[in-house]
């Protein structure tokens, strides 16, 4: 029996649908009449950090090689009856997939033949086909990908930062693993991970665009096989609050240095509430958006360019505020950011900055609802974080300056931050 619920928001004047499908899959449908395109994404709450897990009815702890979630993503496009990309080529859909630290997602966008493309998507995640031969073949392909990222400055500056912040948590390990770790991946452990985490009760399908919920339910009824609700729990090591090291650097054949400055927070297995996320969004906007005092200062001193940005990096057992960008003097830029944060802790955020940030974020959240791709991706990430699309808008509208300044007291500890820089090789040679 499928359960269909309509979710409305009076403030925005829009609605979408939540479906508890009889197979165990959660489905969200955001109809947008008149749209020429439709976007669909299906994801599982399983990513690079889920390498050690156990079932509730068993004491056995299962450990699998680093990089296996990414490897599995690659292999699911190949089935006994052909390659999924070849099938999408016939429908005209543009398809892709990605693995992050805690999710793996498969997606497509199209302007026609939507139902055929959705059937391909639902078939793809239910048709694992792993053999010694095809797993061995993929090892060379992924090995080349790993080597390519090892030479990518923007990738290394991030993972060097994570290594400087995290002592034990697997978030510090490259999503694709290492050449050594993927050598231990075989059909048996791929099937083990697939059966554990590609359970429909651990997944969500989000569709936005020129569609309706009845259309999606019909296809889901035809394509989905019910799953037993048995998803393992991931085991994470204890992670201390303190960073590992304050600074790490690496040299590349580049002209402009770049940096990432991370403020590590207390580890928690619980995701933040929508209210906490809204408060953090406002804090970071007041600090580092294009209209902030800090941004202007860094720009005036020629220490940043338009690559400068910020993010709240969070997941199970890890959380950090990260500022990043290109800079001719990354260390000086980092010191100015830390000094600004220290001063902000003493003065608090002003009402003027608070109101400006709140309006800016609210406007971006509402304008995001014009894009099927942004809507579907937001619904998916919010679902896995136990949050809801419209609730985020409501929380933002109801957040006060007092809330934000109280939240600020819990974040951006300047005594617990790490700096990762990548510098030109000529700087190394000049030392």
- Minimal CA–CA distance to 141: which of 176, 108, 165, 175? 176
Confidence at residue 79, expressed as pLDDT on a 0 to 100 scale: 81
Domain count, the chain: 2
Residue that finishes a domain, picked among 208, 234, 260: 234
Residue that finishes a domain, picked among 205, 234, 263: 234
Whether 252 and 227 map to the same domain: the answer is: no
Q: Which two tokens stand for residue 373?
A: 């791709």
Whether 342 and 407 map to the same domain: the answer is: yes
User: With bands split at pLDDT 50, 70 and 90, how would you rate the model's confidence at 81?
Assistant: confident
Q: Residue 42 pLDDT more than 60?
A: yes
Confidence at residue 430, expressed as pLDDT on a 0 to 100 scale: 52
Question: Which is it for strands 94-99 and 82-83: parallel, antiparallel or unpaired?
Answer: unpaired
Q: Which two tokens stand for residue 395?
A: 């929380």
Which is the catalytic residue, given 10, 59, 60, 73?
A: 73
- Minimal CA–CA distance to 117: which of 209, 47, 200? 209
Q: Residue 21 pLDDT more than 70?
A: yes
The sign one gets for the Cα dihedral 395, 398, 399, 402 is negative
- pLDDT tens-digit readout, 351-395: 999 999 999 999 998 889 999 999 999 999 999 999 999 988 888
Q: Residue 83 pLDDT more than 90?
A: no
3-state SS, the chain, equals CCEEEEEEECCCCEEEEEEECCCCCEEEEEECCCCCCEEEEEEECCCCCCCEEECCCCCCCEECCCCHHHHHHHHCCEECCEEHHHHHHHHCCEEEEEECCCCEEEEEEECCCHHHHHHHHHHHCCCCCCCHHHHHHHHHHHHHHHHHHHCCHHHHHHHHHHHHHCCCCHHHCCCCCCHHHHCCCCHHHHHHHHHHHCCHHHEEEEEEECCCHHHHHHHHHHHCCCCCCCCCEECCCCCCCCCCCCEEEEEECCCCCEEEEEEECCCCCCCCCHHHHHHHHHHHHHHHCCCCHHHHHHHHCCCCCCCCEEEEEEECCEEEEEEEEECCCHHHHHHHHHHHHHHHHHHCCCHHHHHHHHHHHHHHHHHHCCCHHHHHHHHHHHHHCCCCHHHHHHHHHHCCHHHHHHHHCCCCCCCCEEEEEEEEHHHHHCC
Residue 108 lies in a domain: yes
228 annotated active-site: no
Half-sphere exposure of 116 (CA within 13 A, CB side): 14
Whether 117 and 71 map to the same domain: the answer is: yes
- pLDDT tens-digit readout, 200-256: 999 999 999 999 999 999 999 999 999 999 999 999 999 999 999 999 999 999 999
Q: Percent of the chain at pLDDT above 90?
A: 87
Single pTM value for the model: 0.94
Whether 251 and 230 map to the same domain: the answer is: no
Residue 239 lies in a domain: no
Whether 97 and 182 map to the same domain: the answer is: yes
Residue 388 lies in a domain: yes
Confidence at residue 45, expressed as pLDDT on a 0 to 100 scale: 97
Q: What is the CATH number of the domain that holds 25?
A: 3.30.830.10
Neighbours of 347 (CB within 10 A): 8
Average pLDDT in the 148-159 region? Answer: 94
User: With bands split at pLDDT 50, 70 and 90, how would you rate the model's confidence at 426?
Assistant: confident
User: With bands split at pLDDT 50, 70 and 90, how would you rate the model's confidence at 173?
Assistant: very high
Q: Residue 12 pLDDT more than 90?
A: no
Beta carbons of 310 and 324 less than 8 angstroms apart: yes
Confidence at residue 11, expressed as pLDDT on a 0 to 100 scale: 85
- pLDDT tens-digit readout, 94-137: 999 999 999 999 999 999 999 999 999 999 999 999 999 999 99
End-to-end CA distance of the chain: 69
Q: Which two tokens stand for residue 318?
A: 């890890």
Whether 252 and 230 map to the same domain: the answer is: no
Residue 212 lies in a domain: yes
Angle, in degrees to the nearest 10, between helices 132-150 and 187-197: 80
User: With bands split at pLDDT 50, 70 and 90, how would you rate the model's confidence at 429?
Assistant: low
Whether 343 and 403 map to the same domain: the answer is: yes
Whether 217 and 268 map to the same domain: the answer is: no
Q: Which two tokens stand for residue 3?
A: 């359960």
Beta carbons of 234 and 53 less than 8 angstroms apart: yes
Whether 196 and 298 map to the same domain: the answer is: no
Average pLDDT in the 154-175 region? Answer: 97
Whether 320 and 413 map to the same domain: the answer is: yes
Structural domain containing residue 110: 3-234
Beta carbons of 121 and 106 less than 8 angstroms apart: yes
Judged by average pLDDT, the poorest of 10-24, 259-273, 291-305 is 259-273
Whether 286 and 351 map to the same domain: the answer is: yes
Confidence at residue 196, expressed as pLDDT on a 0 to 100 scale: 97
Residue that finishes a domain, picked among 185, 205, 234: 234
Output the average pLDDT for the chain: 94
Beta carbons of 80 and 129 less than 8 angstroms apart: yes
Average pLDDT in the 172-199 region? Answer: 97
Residue 240 lies in a domain: no
Average pLDDT in the 267-282 region? Answer: 87
Distance CA 315, CA 385 (A): 8
Whether 18 and 96 map to the same domain: the answer is: yes
């Amino acid at each position: 029996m499928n359960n269909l619920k309509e979710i409305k928001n009076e403030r925005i004047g829009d609605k979408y649908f939540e479906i508890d499908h009889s197979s165990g899959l959660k489905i969200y449908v955001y109809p947008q009449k008149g749209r020429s395109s439709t976007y669909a994404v299906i994801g599982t709450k399983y990513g690079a950090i889920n390498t050690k897990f156990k079932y509730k009815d068993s004491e056995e702890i299962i450990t699998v090689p680093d990089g296996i979630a990414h490897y599995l993503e690659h292999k699911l496009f190949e089935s006994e009856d052909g390659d999924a990309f070849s099938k999408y080529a016939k429908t005209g859909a543009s398809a892709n997939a990605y693995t992050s630290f805690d999710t793996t997602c498969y997606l497509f966008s199209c302007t026609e033949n939507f139902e055929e493309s959705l059937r391909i998507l639902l078939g793809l995640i239910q048709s694992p086909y792993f053999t010694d031969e095809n797993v061995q073949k993929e090892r060379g392909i992924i090995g080349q990908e790993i080597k390519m990222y090892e030479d990518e400055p923007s990738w290394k500056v991030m993972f060097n930062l994570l290594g400087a912040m995290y002592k034990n948590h697997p978030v510090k390990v490259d999503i694709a693993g290492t050449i050594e770790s993927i050598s231990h991946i075989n059909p048996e452990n791929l099937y083990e991970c697939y059966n554990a985490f590609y359970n429909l009760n651990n997944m969500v399908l989000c569709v936005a665009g020129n569609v309706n919920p009845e259309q999606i339910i019909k296809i889901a009824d035809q394509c989905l096989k019910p799953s037993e609700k048995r998803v393992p729990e991931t085991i994470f090591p204890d992670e201390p609050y303190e960073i590992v090291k304050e600074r790490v650097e690496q040299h590349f054949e580049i002209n402009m240095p770049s940096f990432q400055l991370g403020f590590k927070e207390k580890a928690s297995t619980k995701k933040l509430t929508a209210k906490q996320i809204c408060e953090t969004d406002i804090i970071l906007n007041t600090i580092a958006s294009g209209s902030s005092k800090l941004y202007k200062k860094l720009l005036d001193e020629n220490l940043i360019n338009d690559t400068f940005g910020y993010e709240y990096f969070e997941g199970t057992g890890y959380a950090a505020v990260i500022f990043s960008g290109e800079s001719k003097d990354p260390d000086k830029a980092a010191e100015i950011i830390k000094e600004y944060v220290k001063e902000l802790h003493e003065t608090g955020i002003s009402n003027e900055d608070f109101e400006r940030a709140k309006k800016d974020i609210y406007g971006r959240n509402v304008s995001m609802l014009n894009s099927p791709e942004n809507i579907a991706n937001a619904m998916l990430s919010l679902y896995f974080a136990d949050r809801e699309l419209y609730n985020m808008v409501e929380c933002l509208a109801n957040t006060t300056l007092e809330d934000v300044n109280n939240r600020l007291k819990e974040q951006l500890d300047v005594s617990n931050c790490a700096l990762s820089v990548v510098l030109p090789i000529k700087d190394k040679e000049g030392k």
